[in-house]
Structure 1
Amino acid sequence: MPDENIHILIVEDESIVALDLATGLQREGYHIVGVADHAQEARKLFTSQEVDLLLMDIHIRGEKDGVETARELMAIKQVPLIYLTAYTDHDTIQRVKQTYPAAFLSKPYDIHHVRIAIELALNNFALFREQQTGKMIPLTATGMPNSRQKEGEEPLQEKETILQLTDYIFIKQNYRFIKIRMADILYASADDNYVHLHTVDKKYSLRISLSQLIDRINRPWLVRIHRSYAINLQAIQSFTEQEVIINKEHLPISRNYKDDFLKNFHFR
């Protein structure tokens, strides 16, 4: 079963603070891949583990401080970076800004504020990456009509946050973000004001229209086959001109979407 929890690396030289932070975040549903108190250990964990987000103290053991360590880790792989520190002097802030952190928290902190910082960090990092690539920023559904919306469909006015980073999307479930590998999405189904993302063993619900979901994910393998269904082409087990079978589910192909669906296949 895919791990939907966000993987966090903590770099903190005060063992009591690190333990308290790790325990609190685990209680909130996050996965802690490890705790390091110096640059060498941080690099080892960062390169050997799957890390989605980095919590970095500025004052750590060894010759390299947290800012220099963060700069080296970001050169290996860019992930959302949050600084947790008691150092808020002008010179430190100027150095911190050069590493483009997604959020900054000064000590002392409480776990509620850390959770908010994580949410902001994911959001800010997704925005930053989309601006770097020059793509449309798939952050929130606005309720406005779009090019994939068929005649007669009513756009939703509610907002739903969907963040896209590399091969994953992050969606809000209850009060925290969870991650879903896009390749694990088998199909999406619309039900009144909700869209459900179906994987092999789970279903995730979002208050968004199906057209808006397709625009947010914006991948060629996610194809609309019906007013109420969009499918992952790579998950198809079999199909006819009337239906698609995915994970033993029979999903109808409507007349309005059949031609666009069949264009994805080269018939001989």
Structure 2
Amino acid sequence: MSEKIKILIVEDEMIIAANISLQLNELGYEVTGIVPRGEEALMHIKSETPDILLLDINLKGSLDGIETALEMQKTHDIPVIYLTANADEAHFNRAKETHPYAFVAKPFKKLDLQRAIELTVSQVGFKNENNSNSKTKEDEAFILNDCIFVRHLNSMVKVNIKDILYIEAERNYCRIFTSNKEYLLVMTLKEMDKKLPSKPFLRVHRSYIINISQITEIATTHIVIGRKAIPISKPLKKELLKRLQTI
């Protein structure tokens, strides 16, 4: 039997939080905790990492839900589902920067919550990936020291490491970008990060791995590669600057 999906509820209205917890238990998920503040959520994640973060946008305290997600993403790659009673444009645009997997508008029905979680689980894969999918991933790419062979149409195509600009996560897939082509792989970004040679590559965001040698600009909150602005956090920016000194 596969393990239950673990969900942390971050909601400052405790009656709503308790009701969500009850619904999640009925749906077969495991609730790792209910916390009312973003700061408490970050502490909880350090001790017991959930599979999904169910996060109210309008939290009281020093961190709202979006700020909590941004802080979490500096150290963890946990899918976020936002709960919100305020779906205005400003909140939505801020929330998009954290790449959430779903929004659930309050007041919501049990089915709304269930569908949002099921969509997230299907996108991420978690512990329920079947063996045939793993086999496909082996067939999709062979990663060597200086090149990657990727499946393109009905053949395996050689992509030189030095020609890769960046790699972007796309649900359970990742997309390799070169200056003139892109390739879609059935492989998560996390798996790709483990297999890639470490010298030219650095994961600078939950959704991006970059080729350091292809950087054309380093700004305060992002870097530019091939006209693409890629977000980067302060800790990873420090790591990037260290790595640039060794090239």
Q: What is the TM-score when the length of structure 2 is the normalising length?
A: 0.52
Residue deviations 1:209-266 (CA, integer Å, cap 9, x gap): xxxxxxxxxxxxxxxxxxxxxxxxxxxxxxxxxxxxxxxxxxxxxxxxxxxxxxxxxx
* 1:51 aligned onto 2:50: yes
| Contact 2:58–2:65, Cα closer than 8 Å, also in 1 | yes
* 1:16 aligned onto 2:21: no
Where in structure 2 are there 5+ consecutive unaligned residues? 126-169, 177-182, 192-247
Cα distance 1:166–1:98, how it changes in 2: closer, same or farther (>3 A)?
closer
**1 CA distance for matches of 2:120 and 2:185?**
19
Aligned residue number for residue 136 of structure 1: 185
**2 CA distance for matches of 1:45 and 1:29?**
21
Aligned residue number for residue 79 of structure 2: 80
| Contact 2:39–2:63, Cα closer than 8 Å, also in 1 | no
Q: Name which one, 1 or 2, has greater alpha-carbon Rg.
A: 1
**2 CA distance for matches of 1:75 and 1:60?**
20
Equivalence map 1:207-246=2 (5 Å): none
| Contact 2:174–2:189, Cα closer than 8 Å, also in 1 | no
Aligned residue number for residue 107 of structure 1: 106
Instruction: Report the identity percentage.
Output: 35
RMSD: 2.3
**2 CA distance for matches of 1:125 and 1:3?**
15
**2 CA distance for matches of 1:29 and 1:71?**
28
SS of the residue aligned with 1:76?
A: coil
2:93 maps to a residue whose letter is: Q
Where in structure 1 are there 5+ consecutive unaligned residues? 139-163, 168-268
**2 CA distance for matches of 1:166 and 1:30?**
24
**1 CA distance for matches of 2:189 and 2:48?**
17
SS of the residue aligned with 1:51?
A: coil
1:128 maps to a residue whose letter is: R
1:113 maps to a residue whose letter is: D
| Contact 2:175–2:185, Cα closer than 8 Å, also in 1 | no
* 1:34 aligned onto 2:33: yes
SS of the residue aligned with 2:87?
A: coil
**2 CA distance for matches of 1:74 and 1:9?**
15
| Contact 1:80–1:122, Cα closer than 8 Å, also in 2 | no
Q: What is the TM-score when the length of structure 1 is the normalising length?
A: 0.48
SS of the residue aligned with 1:33?
A: strand
Identify, as 1 or 2, the structure richer in helix. 2
Aligned-pair distance for 1:122?
Answer: 2.6
| Contact 1:85–1:105, Cα closer than 8 Å, also in 2 | yes
1:65 maps to a residue whose letter is: D
**1 CA distance for matches of 2:108 and 2:21?**
13
**1 CA distance for matches of 2:97 and 2:189?**
22
Residue deviations 1:37-83 (CA, integer Å, cap 9, x gap): 11111011111113101100011120110000011112211122100
**Aligned length in residues:** 141
Q: 4+ residue runs of structure 1 moved beyond 2 angstroms?
A: 122-130, 132-138, 164-167
